[in-house]
């Protein structure tokens, strides 16, 4: 990390920016860090192989084939409707809607499996086909189809399987994703599988031969919905492929057309930006986001995007990010998305809507590709640095990466937008390329890849034209406004104090931030409401202020070596308990699956001292 004065920052940017940036507070210090190459903490997992699968598709009985047919008129209308979530902020540059969730009439799956099946035998069970393999393992397979889909995902409402079990999804063309491990159960909000680019998806669960009768009897796997993805760019159906770019997007510049002479760090930026797909409110969307470096060089896979893309743990759990998706040649054919690396899942750490800086900040559940780049960042205020050049790569429309070069406009023209004050947003003009739906959340950075903001949308008199830079300004939430909310993770040496609130407890002298989320079998979910008891303890209620659901305390036991986390639950709903050390940025998440009595928690090695 470097801490510099504004004067040094202005020297770095050039003399032309001195009056604008120095005007507000010339003695204000800037916190910043440069980009870095991601250093994985573990070896990458081997890709799944067809030899690992039973491939029971041809053997499935009708009862194991779940054919959803065509979308209903209401589902088709919802798929084709624009993003209307949460009002005004969404209209600035909405996420691209690419799919809808189709709830199954009743969950498909099993709650306990029979053990009497002979070697080589098979029997229809719970909407699937159960087979006993030659190695003694039990394999349960079902298929799901949705007419017209270009791709499918499954929503697994609940799963808990014996240790050593493996779950896969795959398509008829050989695409395989997994294995998934449900030995610890699912999070309260459930689990969304990877995308399979086909109108039919197979789900296979293999329980090991060593699983005990009790473990097999308690095994559970329930599919609650199929996510139907159909979009002419991201997931085209057989009849829905795009033939030409719309006139309003004619200015878009394919990233593969950009050389290092135009943007010196274009190759590094390519390895930092993810195409984000996620489910929110029953629909599936595409946005953009970028990996972020820390002042400690920790290589934790943190990702920054926009609040108007998603802002809940449900959506963060469903997050599937595709990496380095680009054409092979300038304006070349769009490649198959399933050929590019991807990550699945994330934990929501912080988020805020406009008129703040409209950001969402998560930690990915899986490591990005080994050659990924973590973007740098700076807390310098560039909103009035008139003429400063800024850059971005993004995934407009769910297409491969596009390039945009922008110039800061200190006096926004033709107007400022009332929900995007210049104190929190950067106004700029596109000087090369443009952005569109799906670009939301894409980081905006200096030439040396220091992030200064993330895309909120556009402001002007012609917002439907993505290429009209005369009548529209580009809008980005300022990273300097975002920074106080994320500094405990990105700059742990600069502690951000815990602020108590209706859903937040600050324990052990205020050092530890404690939050809780619940989920019921009926699909209700939300944050727990916190009530402080002492400096070290408190409780949460979910449905009624008079009904205590969870008691938690964080103790300073440093004389014995660590901080301790103890918790006790009076519930069997799903619970996610998150405890964060605001001094170091470390965090721990404790999960209780839906339908399981909350087991006493006594973690005496929770956090390091001091």
For every residue of 47-108, DSSP letters joined together read PP-GGGS---GGG--GGGEEE--SPPHHHHHHHHS---TTTHHHHHSPPEEEEEEEEEEEEE
Are 453 and 343 members of one domain?
yes
Q: At 495, is the pLDDT very low, low, confident or very high (cuts 50, 70, 90)? A: low
Q: Say if residue 494's pLDDT is above 80.
A: no
Among the three residues 201, 229, 257, which one is the final residue of a domain in this structure?
229
Are 90 and 224 members of one domain?
yes
Q: Compute the residue count for the chain.
A: 610
Are 291 and 437 members of one domain?
yes
Q: Say if residue 17's pLDDT is above 50.
A: no
Q: Which of 92-101, 233-242, 243-252, 282-291 has the lowest mean pLDDT?
A: 243-252
Provide the pLDDT for residue 496: 60
Q: Say if residue 6's pLDDT is above 90.
A: no
Provide the pLDDT for residue 11: 31
pLDDT digits (tens, 9 = 90+) for 262-278: 999 999 999 999 999 99
pLDDT digits (tens, 9 = 90+) for 381-395: 889 888 899 999 999
Q: Say if residue 307's pLDDT is above 90.
A: yes
Structure token digits, residue 46 = 């081997």
Distance CA 20, CA 410 (A): 8
- Residue 235 in any domain: the answer is no
Provide the pLDDT for residue 10: 34
Among the three residues 487, 514, 546, which one is the final residue of a domain in this structure?
487
pLDDT digits (tens, 9 = 90+) for 342-379: 999 999 999 998 889 999 999 999 999 999 999 999 99
Q: At 593, is the pLDDT very low, low, confident or very high (cuts 50, 70, 90)? A: confident
Contacts of residue 442, defined as CB under 8 A and 6 or more positions apart, other chains included, come to 273, 287, 288, 289, 290, 305, 392, 393, 394, 395, 435, 454, 455
CA 187 to chain centre: 15
Domain that holds residue 567: 505-608
pLDDT digits (tens, 9 = 90+) for 534-551: 999 999 998 888 899 999
Are 323 and 458 members of one domain?
yes
Are 261 and 394 members of one domain?
yes
Are 436 and 576 members of one domain?
no
Q: Say if residue 84's pLDDT is above 90.
A: no
Q: Which of 12-26, 140-154, 203-217 has the lowest mean pLDDT?
A: 12-26
- Residue 35 in any domain: the answer is no
pLDDT digits (tens, 9 = 90+) for 424-474: 999 999 999 999 989 999 999 999 999 999 999 988 888 888 898 899 999
Structurally, the chain folds into a number of domains equal to: 3
Provide the pLDDT for residue 544: 86
Are 522 and 379 members of one domain?
no
Q: At 497, is the pLDDT very low, low, confident or very high (cuts 50, 70, 90)? A: low
Distance CA 22, CA 17 (A): 8
pLDDT digits (tens, 9 = 90+) for 152-189: 999 999 999 999 999 999 999 889 999 999 998 998 89
Q: Phi, psi (5° rounding) for residue 559?
A: -65, -20
Global pTM reads 0.80
Are 442 and 306 members of one domain?
yes
Provide the pLDDT for residue 115: 83
373 versus 240: the higher-pLDDT residue is: 373
Among the three residues 428, 453, 487, which one is the final residue of a domain in this structure?
487
Q: Which of 21-30, 53-62, 191-200, 344-353 has the lowest mean pLDDT?
A: 21-30
Are 259 and 181 members of one domain?
no
* Burial of 440: CB neighbours in 10 Å, binned 0-12, 13-18, 19+: buried
Identify the bridge partners of residue 206 per DSSP, sorted by sequence position.
Answer: 139, 166
| Cβ–Cβ under 8 Å, residues 476 and 357 | no
Are 220 and 260 members of one domain?
no
What count of Cα atoms within 13 Å lies in the side-chain half-sphere of residue 40?
12
Mapped onto helix, strand or coil, the DSSP state of residue 217 is helix
Q: Phi, psi (5° rounding) for residue 480?
A: -65, -25
Highest mean pLDDT among 81-95, 398-412, 569-583: 398-412
Q: Say if residue 309's pLDDT is above 70.
A: yes
Provide the pLDDT for residue 397: 87
- Residue 531 in any domain: the answer is yes
Distance CA 519, CA 557 (A): 32
What radius of gyration do the chain's Cα atoms show? 25
Mapped onto helix, strand or coil, the DSSP state of residue 151 is strand
- Residue 43 in any domain: the answer is no
What's the rounded mean pLDDT across residues 517-544? 84
- Residue 42 in any domain: the answer is no
Q: At 244, is the pLDDT very low, low, confident or very high (cuts 50, 70, 90)? A: very low
Q: Which of 246-255, 298-307, 381-390, 460-469 has the lowest mean pLDDT?
A: 246-255
Provide the pLDDT for residue 2: 34
- Residue 27 in any domain: the answer is no
Distance CA 470, CA 475 (A): 14
Structure token digits, residue 132 = 């006993």
- Residue 239 in any domain: the answer is no
* CATH code for position 306: 2.40.10.120
- Residue 36 in any domain: the answer is no
Are 208 and 346 members of one domain?
no
Are 311 and 382 members of one domain?
yes
| Cβ–Cβ under 8 Å, residues 309 and 303 | no
């Amino acid at each position: 990390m470097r801490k510099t004065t504004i004067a040094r920052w202005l020297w770095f940017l050039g003399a032309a920016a001195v009056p604008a940036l120095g005007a507000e507070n010339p003695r204000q210090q800037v916190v910043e860090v440069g980009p870095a190459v991601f250093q994985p903490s573990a070896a990458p997992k081997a890709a799944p192989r067809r030899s690992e699968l039973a491939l029971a598709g041809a053997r499935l009985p009708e009862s194991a084939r779940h054919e959803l047919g065509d979308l209903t008129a209401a589902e088709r209308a919802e798929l084709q409707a624009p993003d209307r979530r949460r009002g005004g902020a969404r209209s600035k540059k909405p996420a691209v809607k690419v799919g809808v969730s189709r709830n199954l009439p009743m969950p498909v799956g099993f709650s306990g499996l029979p053990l009497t099946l002979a070697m080589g035998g098979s029997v229809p069970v719970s909407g699937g086909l159960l087979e006993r393999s030659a190695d003694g393992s039990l394999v349960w397979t079902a298929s799901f189809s949705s007419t017209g889909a270009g791709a499918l995902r499954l929503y697994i409402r609940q799963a808990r399987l014996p240790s050593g079990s493996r779950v896969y999804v795959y398509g008829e063309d050989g695409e395989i994703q997994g294995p998934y491990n449900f030995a610890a159960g699912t999070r309260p909000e459930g689990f969304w599988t990877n995308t399979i680019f086909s109108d039919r998806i197979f789900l296979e669960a293999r329980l090991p031969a060593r699983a005990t009768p009790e473990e097999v009897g308690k095994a559970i796997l329930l599919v609650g919905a199929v996510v139907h993805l159909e979009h002419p760019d991201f997931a085209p159906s057989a009849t829905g492929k795009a033939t030409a770019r719309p006139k309003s997007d004619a200015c878009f510049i394919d990233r593969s057309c950009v050389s290092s002479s135009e943007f010196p760090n274009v190759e590094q930026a390519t390895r930092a930006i993810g195409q984000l797909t996620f489910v929110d409110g029953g629909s599936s969307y595409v946005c953009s986001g970028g990996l972020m470096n820390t002042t400690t060089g920790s290589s934790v896979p943190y990702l920054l995007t926009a609040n108007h893309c998603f802002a809940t743990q449900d959506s963060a759990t469903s997050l599937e990010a595709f990496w380095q998706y680009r054409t092979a040649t300038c304006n070349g054919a769009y490649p198959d998305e399933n050929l590019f690396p991807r990550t699945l899942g994330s934990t929501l750490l912080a988020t805020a809507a406009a008129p703040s800086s409209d950001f969402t900040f998560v930690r990915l559940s899986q490591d990005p590709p080994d050659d990924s780049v973590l973007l740098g960042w700076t807390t310098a205020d560039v909103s009035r640095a008139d003429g400063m050049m800024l850059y971005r790569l993004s995934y407009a429309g769910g297409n491969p990466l596009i390039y945009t070069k922008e110039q800061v406009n200190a006096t926004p023209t033709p107007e400022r937008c009332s929900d995007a004050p210049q104190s929190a947003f950067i106004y700029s003009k596109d000087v090369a390329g443009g952005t569109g739906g799906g670009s939301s959340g894409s980081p905006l950075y200096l030439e040396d890849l220091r992030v200064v903001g993330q895309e909120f949308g556009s402001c002007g008199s012609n917002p439907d034209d993505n290429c009209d830079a005369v009548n529209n300004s580009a809008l980005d939430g300022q990273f300097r406004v975002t920074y106080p909310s994320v500094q405990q993770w990105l700059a742990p040496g600069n502690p951000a104090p815990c602020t108590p609130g209706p859903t937040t407890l600050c324990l052990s002298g205020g050092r530890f931030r404690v939050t809780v989320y619940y989920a019921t079998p009926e699909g209700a979910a939300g944050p727990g409401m916190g009530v402080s008891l002492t400096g070290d303890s408190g409780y949460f209620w979910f449905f009624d202020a008079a009904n205590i659901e969870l008691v938690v305390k964080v103790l300073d036991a440093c004389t014995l070596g660590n901080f301790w986390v103890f918790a006790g639950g009076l519930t069997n709903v799903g619970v996610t308990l998150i405890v964060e050390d605001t001094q170091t940025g470390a965090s721990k998440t404790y999960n209780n699956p839906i339908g399981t009595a909350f087991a006493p928690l006594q973690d005496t090695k929770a956090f390091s001292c001091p």
